[in-house]
Structure 1
Amino acid sequence: MAEQFRAFIDPDFVITDDETLRPYECDGLAMYREMPMLVVLPETVEQVQRVMRICHEHGVPVVARGAGTGLCAGAMPHKEGVVLSLAKFNRILNIDPVGRTARLQPGVRNLAISEEAAQYGLYYGPDPSSQIACTIGGNVAENSGGVHCLKYGLTVHNILSVEMITAEGDRVTVGSDGLDSCGMDLLALLTGSEGLLGVVTEVKVKLLPKPEVAQVIMAGFDSIEKAGDAVGGVISHGIIPGGLEMMDGHAIIAADDFCGAGYPRDAKALLLCEVDGTKEEVHEHIAEAEALFRKLGATSIRTSQSEEERALLWKGRKSAFPAVGRISPDYYCMDGTIPRRHLARVLLEMEKMSEEFGLRVANVFHAGDGNLHPLILFDANQPGELEATEALGGKILELCVEAGGSITGEHGVGREKLNQMCTQFAADEITLFHAVKSAFDERRLLNPGKNIPTLARCAEFGAMHVHHGELPHPELPRF
């Protein structure tokens, strides 16, 4: 098969030797690894189509890959499959400042979109913490969010159309330049589908005008519970922040050591609340939010007075994940969502779980939309700690479901959360997911073994781990 690919792709970019394959064995979640059969890096859409047709003809699995920054093992290779890297699809094809749109190849970095659009006073809304490296194709695959998704939405709310290659190698466009399209909303279905339904080769995104003014309030609290209650308090007051982020004591110190943002190091929890808009609107909402935070128990309040100060406060938050690496040999980043009203209760329950498992948990998350990112700190060199960490992570996700939330907010399911899919969804729902997968990819060659568990897996997981020996779905056979 490699020789077939070398007939139309530069042979240097058809990779088969173990040493060069090694960087592709995992994504950002290095706990799951597997070496692929080979890797190809095409340069044109026509080459992608030929790759897909050859793989479909031979029944070979295909895993599309962007920058590899994902955190759910969604881009982990298949040992008998091809990794289709879109790294060379890195051009901004067009920016329309009048229509406020940008046409992009999937390998364009998230941050590069805003950097290019800045000359027109525009930017791209979703801003994951990994935006300096993650790509728009990967953002579509995982429906990524970011610190400003509370006000400006996730990827699905900020794209107009997607060009993709089907499992059979056909080229199709889903969506349009209009605010709505006729027929079923396939664009929403594709966004967040984790490479199971097609290979994205072009994305058209919406651009937003830069706000006239933006300021950040940094509020410190002496308890996680008070900070959690303050999140709901701000929004119920009628203020919709551009971003509303929370960090606990472990994350505060690590991030402050990392970038010197001037965070209150004695605080048990910290909120970053950004308000943007016109000068008058921001001035009014900042004053209201400051007063509200004081009323709800804030022990310290600081509001940015310049763009440089605002950027520094956000730098600490966006650097929190790597910064936590300074206080622990390893950490496991979880991703679940809960209703905002349950923030305080869930965070306190997580604190109890942390003590029960004997593992520290640093919390850094999008508080405004209830998207939690607990970082479980551990040492993989200590026998049993990795297994305990995975078990604690599973318990946290099950807690999110119990609270009325979801097992993922933006990282995706991938290989990592297959078992927890069985906790969240019933057998009929999982059967429906499989039906959708089959409609797009009947031979199940696109990113197999990810996102959707088999019913047999759910029966086994439910019996062993969730329902204390009782099958969650009695109608399912035991395997």
Structure 2
Amino acid sequence: MTETAATAPALPAADSSRASPHADAAVLAGDERAQRQKQIVKALAAVLPAHALLASTTATTAFENDGLTLFRQPPLAVALPETEAQVQAVLKVCSKLDVPVVARGAGTGLSGGATPHGNGVVLSLAKFRRIVGIDAQARTATVQCGVRNVSISQAAAAHGLFYAPDPSSQLACTIGGNIAENAGGVHCLKYGLTLHNVMQVRGYTIDGEPITLGSLALDAPGFDLLPLIVGSEGLLMVIVEATVRLLPRPAEARCLLASFHTVRQAGDAVAAIIAQGIIPAGLEMMDQAMTAAVDDFVQVGYDRRAAAILLCESDGSTDEVDDEIERMTQVLQDNGAYRIVASSSEAQRLQFWKGRKNAFPASGRISPDYICMDSTIPRHRLADMLEAIAAMQERYQLRCSNVFHAGDGNLHPLILFDGSDPDQLLRAQAFGDEILHLSVAMGGTVTGEHGVGLEKLGAMCAQFDADTLAQMHAIKRAFDEPGLLNPGKAVPTLSRCAEAGRMHVTGGALPHPELERF
């Protein structure tokens, strides 16, 4: 995916609220910006070594955006602490000087959640890459926040264990970012999201106060606050360490690759598999456009004739896998699969998944730019959504390839466009917004695992009513009263929703014509 700063639109109007007083502040410019930057850099230089503090435009350019390149914003400075004491000191400095802080991991997020605040500091935690320890008996791994997702399973393999959540970016994304966004992956249907696999987190509040949530035991005393942190997008605390669950590596895993003449047949097959009480280790779907793009990129041998393909994986003991594969095969056949191939070796199984894991880079090869949406809908509405997206392609005159976690209804439509054309850019954003609103109208949600960030603030106004949004802001204030941690992200203010003319979908007219069909 490519993007140039010249064509990237300005950041959306920031929100304002008691919980986030800095979100509506204009980005400083000229002499005022220079003086503020000088003040902040001087204070940070007192607690960080020179090589751990970046302030020049050249040095901070790489931190101006995350994986959603539509939004770019230079920070006043970037802090790269190497110890927890330095993290704590940076937060205390920023709290004292009233400076917004955006924590950042690998920068692979796709919703703009790690986009810097123009008047603030980026707190990069990329140097926290140590695996603290693996307890094979307790089946846990304690890791620093900058450890890559895949590194946990690699370290645990010697004990016959693995870490289940496996987002497609697992080669690069960090556990801290996974916790911030509640990441999932192709095996989340059976093994759960990050939330279900994290036992304890340690970190600091905006004031530099140490905080530990969760427990290494089955339960923790007091209020169960850990679920608030997982998926909180850096708004509540800065995580430096986590303890996660490890699982025994299955004795066997096999995958079915099924082809369908229509997307409705494939969608119905997904619902039928779950209705039969089968919970596959993975259940993924790709439409014809995505299948062709992926096969051109990594040559996995997908069926290009199919309107849609399903990847259905079973794991466990040999007997369990044999039984589940047989049952899934029957369901797929009953729902119109005209071709079913079962992996006959571990190499072939990995080959099947290689295509799915490369969907995003494959899209980057065929389009200058793309936006990857991340809504979730009830499984039985999959075919309805795909047919609606096909109609949207005609209306917006843009291509859209679909790949998603079919088993739990988590969609990832990739809208292809050329960011150098302002009109295409506007149409792409409107296309994505319509998908989000339709997802809510179908009884779903605006995000499954990528987070809200900056991208979905408007759609949040459609999903949640005023009282619910007010409760979210109250939680934010309880952890971060001055509103300095990642302000203006994830939770829109009531004023923003009112100014944009948004309304909670349940309460009134639907905002897009395609929604009226549902």
TM superposition score category, shorter chain reference:
over 0.9
The equivalent residue for 2:398 is 359
Distance 1:298 1:327 in 2: 28
SS of 1:126 mapped into structure 2? coil
The equivalent residue for 2:69 is 30
CA contact (8 A) 1:249 1:266 kept: yes
CA contact (8 A) 1:195 1:446 kept: yes
The equivalent residue for 1:387 is 426
Q: Please, what is the CA RMSD of the aligned residues?
A: 1.7
Following TM superposition, by how much is the alpha carbon of 1:351 offset from its aligned partner in structure 2, in angstroms? 1.4
The equivalent residue for 1:187 is 226
SS of 1:163 mapped into structure 2? strand
The equivalent residue for 2:154 is 115
The equivalent position to 1:128 in structure 2, one of 163, 167, 170, is: 167
Aligned in 2, Cα 1:471/1:448: closer, same or farther, shift over 3 Å? farther
**What are the within-5 Å matches in structure 2 for residues 249-264 of structure 1?**
249-264=288-303
Following TM superposition, by how much is the alpha carbon of 1:6 offset from its aligned partner in structure 2, in angstroms? 2.2
SS of 2:365 mapped into structure 1? coil
The equivalent residue for 2:210 is 171
Distance 2:169 2:224 in 1: 28
**What are the within-5 Å matches in structure 2 for residues 19-418 of structure 1?**
19-418=58-457
Distance 1:399 1:388 in 2: 16
Following TM superposition, by how much is the alpha carbon of 1:356 offset from its aligned partner in structure 2, in angstroms? 1.3
Distance 2:272 2:506 in 1: 36
The equivalent residue for 2:14 is none
Distance 1:433 1:350 in 2: 31
- 1:9 partner letter: L
Following TM superposition, by how much is the alpha carbon of 1:302 offset from its aligned partner in structure 2, in angstroms? 0.6
CA contact (8 A) 2:464 2:504 kept: no
SS of 2:172 mapped into structure 1? coil
Following TM superposition, by how much is the alpha carbon of 1:467 offset from its aligned partner in structure 2, in angstroms? 11
Residues 288-336 of structure 1: CA deviation (Å, up to 9, x unaligned):
1112211211121111111111111111001011101222221110000
- 1:457 partner letter: R
The equivalent residue for 1:477 is none
SS of 1:197 mapped into structure 2? coil
Following TM superposition, by how much is the alpha carbon of 1:82 offset from its aligned partner in structure 2, in angstroms? 0.5
Aligned in 2, Cα 1:467/1:230: closer, same or farther, shift over 3 Å? closer
CA contact (8 A) 1:62 1:82 kept: yes
Distance 1:454 1:82 in 2: 22
The equivalent residue for 2:33 is none
CA contact (8 A) 2:461 2:502 kept: no
Give the TM-score, by structure 1 length. 0.96
- 2:315 partner letter: D
- 1:210 partner letter: R
**Which stretches of structure 1, 4 residues or more, deviate above 4 A after TM superposition?**
463-472
Distance 1:56 1:279 in 2: 56
The equivalent residue for 2:21 is none
Distance 1:206 1:217 in 2: 28
Distance 1:470 1:98 in 2: 56
Distance 2:425 2:389 in 1: 18
Distance 1:296 1:338 in 2: 21
SS of 1:185 mapped into structure 2? coil
- 1:239 partner letter: I
Distance 2:353 2:342 in 1: 12
SS of 1:227 mapped into structure 2? helix
Q: Determine what percentage of the aligned residue pairs are the same residue.
A: 55
Distance 2:499 2:491 in 1: 15
- 2:348 partner letter: E
Following TM superposition, by how much is the alpha carbon of 1:269 offset from its aligned partner in structure 2, in angstroms? 0.4
The equivalent residue for 2:496 is 457
Distance 2:236 2:419 in 1: 35
Aligned in 2, Cα 1:313/1:442: closer, same or farther, shift over 3 Å? same
Residues 180-207 of structure 1: CA deviation (Å, up to 9, x unaligned):
2232221000000000000001000000
Residues 22-76 of structure 1: CA deviation (Å, up to 9, x unaligned):
0000000000010000001001111111110110001000000000000000000
Distance 1:422 1:464 in 2: 6
CA contact (8 A) 2:465 2:504 kept: no
The equivalent residue for 2:459 is 420
Number of residues of Structure 1 aligned to a counterpart in Structure 2 = 472
Distance 2:397 2:217 in 1: 53
Following TM superposition, by how much is the alpha carbon of 1:413 offset from its aligned partner in structure 2, in angstroms? 0.3
Distance 2:448 2:503 in 1: 26
Does residue 6 (structure 1) correspond to residue 49 (structure 2)? The answer is no
- 2:490 partner letter: N
Following TM superposition, by how much is the alpha carbon of 1:78 offset from its aligned partner in structure 2, in angstroms? 0.6
SS of 2:134 mapped into structure 1? strand
SS of 2:232 mapped into structure 1? coil
Following TM superposition, by how much is the alpha carbon of 1:271 offset from its aligned partner in structure 2, in angstroms? 0.3
Following TM superposition, by how much is the alpha carbon of 1:7 offset from its aligned partner in structure 2, in angstroms? 2.6
Distance 2:289 2:116 in 1: 34
CA contact (8 A) 1:462 1:470 kept: no
Give the TM-score, by structure 2 length. 0.89
CA contact (8 A) 2:463 2:504 kept: no
The equivalent residue for 1:476 is none
Distance 1:243 1:430 in 2: 34
CA contact (8 A) 2:201 2:213 kept: yes
Does residue 442 (structure 1) correspond to residue 490 (structure 2)? The answer is no
SS of 1:332 mapped into structure 2? strand
Following TM superposition, by how much is the alpha carbon of 1:463 offset from its aligned partner in structure 2, in angstroms? 5.1
Which ranges in structure 1 are unaligned for 5 or more consecutive residues? 473-479
